Amino acid sequence: MQLNRDELKRAWRTMLTIRAFEERVEKEFADGTIPGFAHVYLGQEASGTGVCFDLTDDDQIGSTHRGHGHCIAKGCEVEGMFLEIMGKAGGICGGKGGSMHIADMDKGMLGANAIVGGSPPIAVGAALTQKLRRTGHVAVAFTGDGASNQGTTLEAMNMAVVLKVPMIFVFENNGYGEFTSAEYSVGAKSLSERAAAFGMPAASVDGGDFFAVHAGMREALEHVRDGNGPYALETRCSRFLGHFVGDPQKYRGSEELAAARTNDPVLRFRDRVSEAALLAIEELNAIETEVRARVDAAAAAARAAALPDLATLETDVYVKY
C-alpha cells in the first residue's frame, strides 16, 4: 500500500490544487467577482483527495454544497470551475449551475448539491447501475456531519444495504453544520457507529491525514468491489473558515479556531513526505508553484470572460420538449 513517487506527486498536486483554488475563491469572493455565496473546502483537502485517489472516471461521486474539493479530486478542470463559479460562458455547466451545482458526467462527478442530503439517494442509483452492469466500479456519496441527520441520507443507507450496491458513504465530519456543532446535532455516539448499525462496515479516520483517508478508502473499496454491499467511512476534518466565506464564526471559541488551523492537511502531507524523503522539498515546491500559477491564471481568465448568452436562459431544460 506504499505509494510510489508519481502517486505521491499526484496526491500533492490534487491537494494543492484544492488549497490554491479555495484560497483564490476566498479572495475573489472578497473582490466581489463571485456572485452568491461560496462554501470552501479549506482544511478538508486530504479527505476528498484521499477518497477519490483510487477512483476512475467510471466511478461516480455525488457531492455537497461544499463541493469544489470533490470536483477537483475527481478530475474537473479548474478553468471550467472558475468560469462556472463566476457565472460565465464556458463554465463547466454553462454558468447555469454555479458553485453548488458543478457537475461533470464524463469525470463521474454527478453534481455538487445544494440540498443537504440530496446526493446519497442519487449515489445509490449510480451504484445500482454499476451493480446491474457488473462493472466493478463504485459510487461514493459525500455528506457532512450535518447532512448525516437528514432522512434522505439515513434511508439511503438502508436502501444501499438492502440492494447490496457497491457504494461508499463518506461522512466528512468537520464538527459543524452551518453554525451548529455535530456534538449537539448528532445524537449517536459517532457517525460511523450509527452507520454500522444500518448493516454495513464502517470506519472512522483522521481526515486531516491523506494517508489515513487513502488507507481507509482502500479497505472500503476492497469490501465494496467484492460485492459485499456498501461501506461507510467517516473522515474527521477541520473546517478552517466559517460555513461560507465571510462567516465570522463567533459560535466557535478562539481556541477551537486556532486548533483547527494546526491540523492542516497540506502541511502535514508536506512534512511527512519530505521528512521521510519520499519527495524532495524542491519537488513539492515546484509543483506548488506550477499549481498556483495555473489556478491564478484560471481565475484571471474567468474574471475576464463573458457572461453567458441571454439566449441560453431557456435552453437545456429538456432534451426535447
Ligand X SMILES: Cc1ncc(C[n+]2csc(CCOP(=O)(O)OP(=O)(O)O)c2C)c(N)n1
Contact segment (CB under 6 A) with ligand X among 59-67, 81-89, 126-134, 305-313 equals 59-67
Contact between 186 and other proteins per CB under 8 A: yes
Element housing 202 (H / E): strand 202-206
Q: CB atoms < 10 A from the CB of 75, how many?
A: 16
Dump the DSSP string for 259-289.
Answer: HHHHS-HHHHHHHHHHHTTSS-HHHHHHHHH
| Contact letters for other proteins, residues 229-258 (x by CB under 8 A) | --------------------xxxxxxxx--
Q: Burial level of 274, CB count in 10 A (0-12/13-18/19+)? A: middle
* Length in residues, the chain: 321
Q: Nearer to Mg ion by C-beta: 132 or 179? A: 179
Q: C-beta of 191: minimal distance to Mg ion in Å?
A: 10
Looking at 12, 53, 176, 211, which residue binds ligand X (CB under 6 A)?
A: 176
Alpha carbons 65 and 244: distance in angstroms, whole number: 10
Q: Identity (one letter) of the amino acid at 173? A: N
Alpha carbons 285 and 288: distance in angstroms, whole number: 5
Alpha carbons 151 and 124: distance in angstroms, whole number: 14
194 binds, among other proteins, a second copy, Mg ion, none (CB under 5 to 8 A by kind): a second copy
Contact between 185 and a second copy per CB under 8 A: yes
* Contact (Cβ atoms closer than 8 angstroms) between residue 113 and residue 141: no
Total interface residues for a second copy by CB under 8 A: 25
Contact between 297 and a second copy per CB under 8 A: no
Q: Nearer to a second copy by C-beta: 32 or 151? A: 151
Contact between 114 and ligand X per CB under 6 A: yes
| Contact letters for other proteins, residues 102-141 (x by CB under 8 A) | -xxx----xx-xxxxxx-xxxxxxxxxxx-xx-----x--
Question: What does the binding site for ligand X look like in residue numbers (CB under 6 A)?
Answer: 39, 64-66, 114-116, 143-147, 174, 176-178, 243
Site residues (CB under 8 A) for a second copy?
A: 149-152, 154-155, 157-162, 184-189, 193-194, 196-200
